[in-house]
Amino acid sequence: MISIPRSPVERALMWSSASSSLAKGVMFGVSALYFTTVIGLSPATVGAGLTAAGVAGMLASFGAGQLSDRYGARRILLVAMLGQGAAIGAYCLARTAVAFVLIACLASAAQGAQRTAQVTLLAREFTGDDRIDVRARLRVVTNAFVGAGSALVAVALAVGTAAAYTTAMSLAAVLVLVSAVPLRALPVARAAEHTRTSFRAPMRDRRYVAIAALNGIITIQFGLLTVGVPLWVTRHTAAPAPIVALLLVLNTVIVMFCQVPAARTVRDIARAGRAVLIAVLLLMLACLLYAAAAYGSLVMATAVLVLAVIAHSAGEIMSEAGGWELAFELADPRNTGAYQGVSQTGFAIGSALAPAVVTSTAINHGTSGWLLLGGLFLAAGAGTFLIAGRAFSHTRKGPAEAGPLSVTSDQ
């Protein structure tokens, strides 16, 4: 399923992603407990600190695009990884709320910059279908090693002491620092040359900004599995609580086996728009099934939840494949980093808003909330489909006929 790639760039990114994803899995499992039991913070303080960190991550996602164009994506990626590793290590020294918030902001900013720089590196090193295929394979690696990290941290959770939690945090820091090692062997690509008229500013590209914003809305789907499903299953359905872990594993397995084949079906802007539309229809179906799970017996609720996660996972992989294609193909290739920075900012905003949106709709209002959430996904996907269709028609006409909205035109 995961083979060693021939391309030295993809190979370096694969090993780097494996290490950083293993660290992410460890963090997912132990960070909240570390913050509350070892540092001694209240859940409200942790929530406020992570919200502030989310804002820092959004700003860094945007700024890293500009920096990647100026100094090279590889340099920015290395700096971001070293910064994130240092920040996670610094958690082990934090003992006050102020220190926690400052470190959380640094860690989130480094992670946001890392995502943008990695996507920019992909956009510069690969072309056409290869970019989507490589990104899909990297996502498989990420999912596999996040799962491995989550399983690894079970040892620390079983011990349940401050020393065990601190050891796990230290391990995560080391793994992030190690993730920078494979990238050091890559040649330093020449940074993009900029003149006043050589590139298009992404924030003036209304079509691209709209696509990024709509994708940010669709990104809220990730909050369903991490926040919505655990709360919904345990509070509103007859299904047993342990089913939550099995549902998360099911999602991981589906993504690992299906993301690459799904990406291969998206080979142009028009098909990307259709993929996103299919994705939001599947997400709408998943929302309906999640809602229906509240009305069944233990067996019925469990079966419906499994179907919901299958639909949700299929929607997830299709939306990712379509979103990647649009983010790459609608960007001005002379200003790759800045464009990918805008795209990743949309993702960061959606991720930051996801917990609040999911809880204020589905969890607080039940069936009507699930319908509202599904309608939100549907509206965002329909908008993406229309914009992609129009962009494809302009691309086929060519720059001379397409006018100011063509992919290669300057503004």
Per-residue pLDDT of the chain (411 residues), as tens digits, is 556 777 889 999 999 999 999 999 999 888 988 999 999 999 889 888 988 999 999 999 999 999 999 999 999 999 999 999 999 999 999 999 999 999 999 999 999 999 999 999 999 999 888 999 999 999 999 999 998 998 888 888 889 899 999 999 999 999 999 999 999 877 665 444 444 445 678 898 999 999 999 999 999 999 998 889 999 999 999 999 889 889 988 999 999 999 999 999 998 999 999 999 999 999 999 999 999 999 999 999 999 999 999 999 999 999 999 999 999 999 998 899 999 999 999 999 999 899 889 999 999 999 999 999 999 999 999 999 999 999 988 766 554 343 334 333 333
Report DSSP state, residue 295. G
pLDDT digits (tens, 9 = 90+) for 262-310: 999 998 999 999 999 999 999 999 999 999 999 999 999 999 999 999 9
Task: Determine the Cα–Cα distance for residues 261 and 273; give it in Å rounded to an integer.
Answer: 17
Quote the Cα angle for 235-237-239, to 5°: 110
CATH class of this structure's domain 8-181: mainly alpha
Q: Are 259 and 353 in contact (CB under 8 A)?
A: no
Q: Residue 284: which of 381, 385, 375 has the closest Cα? A: 375
**Alpha-carbon separation of residue 39 from 89, 98, 307, 377 (angstroms):** 14, 11, 40, 38
- Asked whether the beta carbons of 223 and 349 are under 8 A apart, the reply is no
DSSP string spanning 327-371?
HHHTS-GGGHHHHHHHHHHHHHHHHHHHHHHHIIIIIHHHHHHHH
Segments of the chain assigned to CATH 1.20.1250.20: 8-181, 202-405
Dist. CA 346–CA 330, nearest whole Å? 15
Query: Which pair of tokens denotes residue 201?
Result: 């500013």
pLDDT of residue 403: 38
Residue that has been written with the tokens 């399983």 in this structure: 151
Q: What pLDDT score does 182 carry?
A: 94
State the Cα–Cα distance between residues 300 and 354, nearest whole angstrom. 28
How far apart CA 218 and CA 380 sit, in angstroms, is: 7
Task: Report, at the CATH architecture level, how domain 202-405 is classified.
Answer: Up-down Bundle (1.20)
Distance CA 162, CA 142 (A): 28
Q: CB burial class (10 A; 0-12, 13-18, 19+) of residue 235?
A: exposed
Run of H or E residues at 152 = helix 129-152
Annotate 159-224 with DSSP letters as a single string.
Answer: H-SHHHHHHHHHHHHHHHHHTTGGGGGS--PPPPP--TTSS--GGG-HHHHHHHHHHHHHHTTHHI
DSSP class per residue in 389-410: HHHHHHHHH-HHHHGGGSTT--
pLDDT at 397: 59
